[in-house]
């Protein structure tokens, strides 16, 4: 399982493959970013406040608040 977040609407989902792109509430198609594998350690982005459980520091690319996530391990 992996963590995915849409950089347009900020929706977070865990899934075994890239989620479907249709139906973004921000209009058009979702723009999913693969943040990495689901794990047991909590990380939170200082910019968009997303909280994810990940095996390691999530990927930084695609923060809905602009440019890159700034992850803090909780």
pLDDT (tens place) for every residue of the chain, 74 residues total: 999 999 999 999 999 999 999 999 999 999 999 999 999 999 999 999 999 999 999 999 999 999 899 999 99
Which residue bears the tokens 């608040």?
65
Please tell me the pTM assigned to this model: 0.94
Question: Residue 23 burial (CB < 10 Å; 0-12/13-18/19+)?
Answer: exposed
- Are the C-beta atoms of residues 19 and 5 closer than 8 Å to each other? no
């Amino acid at each position: 399982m992996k963590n995915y977040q849409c950089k347009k609407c900020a929706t977070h989902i865990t899934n075994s493959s890239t989620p479907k792109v249709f139906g973004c509430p921000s209009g058009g198609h979702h723009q999913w970013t693969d943040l990495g594998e689901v794990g047991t350690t909590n990380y939170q982005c200082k910019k968009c406040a997303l909280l994810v459980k990940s095996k390691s520091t999530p990927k930084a690319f695609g923060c809905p608040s602009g440019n890159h996530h700034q992850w803090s391990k909780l």
